[in-house]
A = this chain, B = another copy of it.
């Protein structure tokens, strides 16, 4: 077996960004089913938005030149010739010296180039006194002002949020090309691991909680989960089940294998799935060091540590970006972590990134991150933690009151 150097988190994330890409063809979806999906096409508008000149205020459509010089003491006098209704075409041509009543959002009539606000006029029967001059284009959005026909509205790689669906609706798109949801297979290993449904545990057995946790995080990030069940610490059996599941999915997760034997099996199985094989064998983090990343053909395969806290943190930290890559998400430029002051000294080591589960507390002087340590504290840290604080790889530790970055757990 080749030897692999342990990689830092940022090195591993760079490897993920370089190595993995969407490899399934895009699909077409109705926009109402596309929230959270990633655009596989550049969206070019086939329409002008708005597709007619609209008033942005309640008032009167006019020719701006007819109002020039108008003031409180010397109003312009115009004839009201029509009233424009919402949702209807403005059908009466506006001529010199004329005005037409128009609501916010109403269509500007031909001949008009601006709108005087209702606050600056006085209606006397069919006569309009205008007390303020307007410039051409004032209080009007022209056709195509917002989007021109042929304009790029959104690019491929954009993850569709609710307002993006609104924008697609505005330009008349009811379907879009998106990358399909990746399927993720989860295979748990370990002689002690039994299905979560098992009611009465025998001595020595524990339930398979990682596939539940990891599966739910994967779903939150757009993946379709296929639970592969649990396999014993037997190389042939393990390899056969892994190959079978690997053939059905886009991403394979091997969970568990905390024993020395299983760890070796995991690497062998990962190598056996195809070239180029293992890319990262160990990540310089605490917890989570025994994490393994491989690539077989186009597909990623990840070996997660067996400890539930390690498994969750490493999946969040590395597998979520992996799922985003497979969905074609453009790299995020923004650091979405919260800043919080750490409530106690925490030691670390240079060259290693530490992750600490924290509760968050809003105090008068800002947000504080309180490390969650239980007794032997697995369950309690799992339930109580609201975020994961990061001690960067270039620090020997963090002092009480120092600011750390916190990933929110949601």
Contacts and interface: CB of A to CB of B under 8 A. Distances in A.
Contact of A174 (B145, B169, B197, B208): B197
Contacts of A104: 258-259
A167 interface: yes
Nearest to A140: B376
Give the dominant DSSP class at A's interface.
loop
A32 B215 CA distance: 9
A1 interface: no
Contact of A166 (B167, B382, B409): B382
Among the interface residues A31, A205, A220, A409, which one has the most CB atoms of the partner chain B within 10 A? A205
Q: Chain A, interface size: which category?
A: 35 or more
B85 A162 contact: no
Nearest to A334: B360
A97 to B, nearest CB: 24
A239 interface: no
A86 B192 CA distance: 5
Interface string A333-377: 111101100000000000000000000111000010000001111
Contact of A207 (B169, B212, B360): B169
A127 to B, nearest CB: 22
B312 A334 contact: no
A390 to B, nearest CB: 15
A163 B409 contact: yes
A222 interface: no
A375 B209 contact: no
Contacts of A145: 375-376
Nearest to A219: B35
Interface string A103-126: 111110000000000000000000
A91 to B, nearest CB: 9
B203 A89 contact: yes
Interface string A200-234: 01111111111011111101100000000000010
Interface of A: 31-32, 35, 47, 49-52, 58, 85-90, 103-107, 141-142, 145-147, 153-154, 158, 161-167, 169-172, 174, 190-194, 196-199, 201-210, 212-217, 219-220, 233, 258-260, 306, 308, 312, 333-336, 338-339, 360-362, 367, 374-380, 382-383, 385-386, 408-410
